[in-house]
Amino acid sequence: MKTLRRYPPDHFINRELSLLAFNRRVIAQAADPATPLLERLRFLCIVSSNLDEYFEVRVAGVKEQVKLGGDITAPDGISPIEVYRRVCSEAHDLVAEQYARLNNEILPALAAEGIVFIRRSQWTAAQSTWIREYFLSDVMPVLTPIGLDPSHPFPRVLNKSLNFAVELEGIDAFGRNSGAAIVQAPRALPRVIKLPSELCEAPNSFVFLSSILHQHVKELFAGMEILGCYQFRVTRNSDLFVDEEEVKNLRTALQGELPQRHFGDAVRLEVADNCSDIMADFLLHQFDLQKTDLYRVPGIVNLVRLMSVPDQVDRPDLKFAPFRPGLPKVLTKRADIFETIRKQDILLHHPFQSFEPVIRLLQQAADDPHVVAIRMTVYRTGTESVLMEHLLRAAQKGKEVTVVVELMARFDEEANMSIAARLEEVGAHVVYGVVGYKTHAKMLLVLRREDGGYRRYVHLGTGNYHPRTTGFYTDFGLMTCNPAIGDDVQEVFKQLTGLGRAGTLTHLWQAPFTLHGSMMEAIAAETTAAQAGRKAHIIAKMNSLLEPEIIEALYTASQAGVKVDLIVRGVCALRPGVPGLSENIRVRSVIGRFLEHHRIFYFHADGGETLYLSSADWMERNFFRRIEVGFPVLNPTLKRRVLKEGLRSYLADTAQSWLMDSDGRYKLTTTRKQRVSAQDLLLSELRQAD
């Protein structure tokens, strides 16, 4: 049965292809000579990491649709089988470009700077001796070669693990001659090994684990002749399935599902380009994959492992210059953060400004005898988070600590379950939100006894409570003790921990109840203003734009004469610049040193300038299947800051800004005359002075 459509398919760009286009923009950072050399290498590694998740989740989903015979479901009207065909073609081209950049540009440039990756054929006698000793002492003891025969079937290969398929000839001690074996490289082994400097001419010389194993694989198969040894890596479907209608304990259900993530259906096979056709076909058969799922690469099969190289090389001239995040002046005047927030709202712009005030707020709340309760949402925070340590201490001191932990945060489920267990051990209240709705809102509420009553201190953010990622994700955070906002946040926490109907909120827009409708109303108001001949302007910044009703509302606004500026880092299904449909809409994507992550929504509102921050993208899941909040910036000075720093600076970017055309293609806006980087500008303005 065909899915009914409300809007013409040609109004939308395909999500999966748009995501691949984003990764091409990341590769462009690796190709840009203005990017420091080791950072260019890091950008290539980021592409590999992105592609891993892309195949684990997005391609796996498309393949499931094809397998189930799914009909057209996406707004763009492309069938799953056609999406899969186009994705395979685009992904193969993208990977080819990635390795071409690595082999033809970045590795030679690194070698010229004394950073080399030595091939086996280039090892000196001294290096060969050291590498053999390393293999015998550090590598061989943890390897388990598995010969393939009737009593040793093909092993269960872990998702994204490094493996070697070995072609053999000869008879072993038991008279067996299977002709093939599998060697799995334990994840504890480093994939890139730095050689002692006294053995090398170049100051930074590395060898790959794959090269070491290739050279010494014969040690694992005594008396056998090695005909070939080939790296391979399989990517598996990593989406978790939990029947939310049947599950009685979400945490227990996830604990049962997580171990199976490593052994989901295979979706991609990567092999080195020297792999024989016979072995490649054998592996494809073992994993039930097709030729289109095979990716032959001229180099190591997992570039993510090169991510460690910049950290092992002491060459600051080949990396982004370090910086110290700044602080708003008001936070440098007083040690008491509660007193500071009482004086005025505080806006933090990460990573240009420090995340330390948020940590300080939680630290002081844990130690302050006047604080009686702390409530916080946790989506991603890391396994060793200083924020969690403060929460644990607060609970141990007898404060009422309530933490809403999102167990279904993809790829952070285990870390979040560990955090939940630790909090429960010290008496904190741990809840898992609402089954069927991910809790994605970023909220922290501190209840403090003051002046014979209670005052609520609130932090709301566009990004996670993750001290590490705040160092390279762009996000806004707002600290306030505005009573109405405090009441709103308290109401949302009450919904998450208790039962009952949703109450009316004064300032916050909340998904799944009012966020979508409020956005639609704000867009409609701009449309009405334009139709009446008044100024109308929408500026929105986000990670992804996919929700069909929002897209159609923006088309209507454009046709009415509303100027629409969209800054969308990743996936964008809207087609800008189509005559008669969207000629007043411009879409740009900014890709730079930091990961653009804040969501900002500005509406001219007849000069009233409504401005909301949120953790929600304009996607169906954020509007209807998540707990999200959009929060206003009410202070006029702070509102001007958000407009200037978060929106107008990015609209003026001519260094790392890509303009999108109506077919989903992107063109870099760099001009020869002037190269203005929004991120560099914000660094110079907001970082701590040297």
Task: Enumerate the active-site residues.
Answer: 440
**d(Cα 342, Cα 236) in Å, to the nearest integer?**
51
Alpha helices, H only, 11-71: 15-31, 37-53, 60-67
Amino acid in the structure at residue 513: F
Q: Look at residues 546, 572, 539 and name the one whose alpha carbon lies nearest to residue 660.
A: 572
Q: Please report, in angstroms and rounded to a whole number, the separation of the first and last CA atoms in the chain.
A: 65
Q: Is 649 helix (H, G, I), strand (E, B) or coil?
A: helix
Q: How many residues does the structure list for the chain? A: 690
Q: Look at residues 357, 264, 316, 379 and name the one whose alpha carbon lies nearest to residue 628.
A: 379
Radius of gyration (C-alpha) of the chain in whole angstroms: 27
- Rounded to 5°, the CA angle 392-615-685 comes to 95
Burial state string for 566-587 with b = 16 or more CB within 10 A and e = fewer than 16 = bbbbbbbbbbbbbeebbebbbb
**d(Cα 206, Cα 299) in Å, to the nearest integer?**
14
Cα→Cα distances 535→416, 539, 551, 563, Å: 47, 13, 21, 9
**d(Cα 388, Cα 15) in Å, to the nearest integer?**
36
Question: Going by C-beta distance under 8 Å and a sequence separation of 6 or more, which residues neighbour residue 175?
Answer: none
Q: Give the tokens for residue 286.
A: 């073992």
CB 429 within 8 A of CB 391: no
CB 639 within 8 A of CB 645: no
**d(Cα 16, Cα 19) in Å, to the nearest integer?**
5
**d(Cα 246, Cα 236) in Å, to the nearest integer?**
26
**d(Cα 448, Cα 456) in Å, to the nearest integer?**
6
**Residue tagged 């052994």 (tokens):** 263
**d(Cα 469, Cα 595) in Å, to the nearest integer?**
9
The half-sphere exposure of 626 on its side-chain side, counting CA atoms within 13 A, is: 25
CB 233 within 8 A of CB 163: yes
Q: Give the tokens for residue 361.
A: 């707020």
**d(Cα 483, Cα 341) in Å, to the nearest integer?**
12
**d(Cα 581, Cα 555) in Å, to the nearest integer?**
6
CB under 8 Å, gap of 24 or more: what pairs does 456-459 form?
456/481, 456/483, 456/486, 456/487, 456/489, 456/490, 457/338, 457/341, 457/361, 457/365, 457/481, 457/486, 458/482, 458/485, 458/486, 458/489, 459/358, 459/361
**d(Cα 460, Cα 442) in Å, to the nearest integer?**
6
Q: Give the tokens for residue 392.
A: 């644990």
Q: Look at residues 437, 448, 462 and name the one whose alpha carbon lies nearest to residue 601.
A: 462
CB 547 within 8 A of CB 515: no
